[in-house]
Every structure is written in C-alpha cells, then in structure tokens.
Amino acid sequence: MNRQDVQALLDEFVESDVLKRHLAAVSAAMRYYARKSGEDEEEWALVGLLHDFDWDLVGESKEHPFRGAGILKERGFPEHIVRAVLSHGDDTGVPRQSLMEKTLYAVDELSGFVIAVALIRPSKSLDDLEPRSVKRKMKDKGFARAVKREDIARGAEELGIDLDEHIANVIEGLKPVAAELGLNTSTPA
C-alpha cells in the first residue's frame, strides 16, 4: 500500500468536497497519533484517508464500511488495513483490537466536531481552540447534531486517555492541514 494507490482509489470513488475534507482531517489526526505512539505515520495517515472512501457510494447505509472493505480486498490492500476500516464502525461485528483501530475510531467523529467548533469561533482557527470549548459544545445537543457524543467519549476511553487530552491531541493533529479544512491559520500550511 502506498500513497499513489490510495490516491487513485480516492480519485475513483470520492466526489464530494465535504468527504475529501473529512478524510484529510482524520488522516492528519491519525498521523499525529502515530507520531506520538512511535508507529508508522504514513500507514496510519493512509488508513485515515481510506476509512470512509465508500461513503459517496453507499452513504449511511448498512453497506458502509463493508463495500469499501470489499473493494480494498479486491485491490490487494493488506488485511490489517481492511480490518481497521471495518473496525471503525460499531455495527460491523469487528472489534477494535490494535492501537491503530482504536485510534481511527477515536479520531473519526471528534475530528469533524473540532472543525465545526473552530468554524463558529470569531477566529475560525484551531490556534486558539481549547478542549474546554469543544467540551462545552458537546453539551449543546443542537450543535452538530449528527455527531455522536457517546462515540467521542468512548473513543478516548478505548485509547485509555482523558477526554481533554484526546481533544487537545486532535486539535494539534489538525493544525498542519487547517487551511485545507477551510480554517484560518497563523502557521504556514
């Protein structure tokens, strides 16, 4: 598996800009956590890019992420990558076992939520975003309703870290791609 193979797959299946931004965000958060854990940054980042690549095909149906996993298998992607993609959903029957699988689940919902919180701030930036602001918005059930707060909490729990620390990690992980995500940044992209 290499970046060119993954990019070819994304070019073939991913159409919406919203999905492209989501995949970029999850990829950046995965890269950050891999670096922090001493794992393979490129592999983890690629898993972040792949985890929802089938979304434009099947959406929020029961076929996701099974359709994507099938395509990955057909194209010869490694089994542990296919398994990570399958394990990021709660309804697949594939329990999260590896650190990569647990991290993918933990950053998936939170990445989008952090971006949503940053976008409503006057600065529209991650540079001044703090975990307490994110947690405050988590309590507002009318804000970003589609985001499952329980998944965010469970993700931190499965990683065995405090929710504040997890939010801070995701904020840091997203900073290098802030401009790509439509956010203002004081650091060069």
Query: Any bridge partners for residue 168, and if so which?
Result: none
Higher pLDDT, 156 or 184: 156
Relative orientation angle of helices 149-159 and 99-120, to the nearest 10 degrees? 140
Residue 30 covered by a domain: yes
Residue 14 covered by a domain: yes
Distance, in Å, from the CA atom of 161 to the CA atom of 79, rounded to the nearest integer, reads: 27
Of 63, 59, 81, which Cα lies nearest the Cα of 72? Answer: 81
Residue 189 covered by a domain: no
What is the structure's pLDDT at 62? Answer: 85
Residue 120 covered by a domain: yes
Residue 119 covered by a domain: yes
The residues, ordered by sequence, that sit 6+ positions from 24 with a Cβ below 8 Å of its Cβ are 49, 177, 180, 181
Residue 184 covered by a domain: no
What is the structure's pLDDT at 90? Answer: 85
Answer for the pair 17, 57: CB distance below 8 angstroms, yes or no.
no
Distance, in Å, from the CA atom of 101 to the CA atom of 103, rounded to the nearest integer, reads: 5
* pLDDT, tens only, 31-72: 999 999 999 999 999 999 999 999 998 877 788 899 999 999
Answer for the pair 67, 50: CB distance below 8 angstroms, yes or no.
no
Judge residue 169's burial from the number of C-beta atoms within 10 Å of its C-beta, 0-12 exposed, 13-18 middle, 19 or more buried.
Answer: buried
Residue 114 covered by a domain: yes
Domain span holding position 110 = 3-177
Of 83, 75, 84, 92, which Cα lies nearest the Cα of 33? Answer: 84
Q: Can you give the CATH number for the domain in which 24 is found?
A: 1.10.3210
Q: Kindly indicate the confidence band of residue 189, based on its pLDDT and cuts at 50, 70 and 90.
A: very low
* pLDDT, tens only, 105-122: 999 999 999 999 999 999
When divided into structural domains, the chain yields a total of 1
Is the confidence at residue 188, as pLDDT, over 80? no
* pLDDT, tens only, 115-172: 999 999 999 999 999 999 999 999 999 999 989 999 999 999 999 999 999 999 999 9
Residue 188 covered by a domain: no
* pLDDT, tens only, 89-102: 888 889 999 999 99
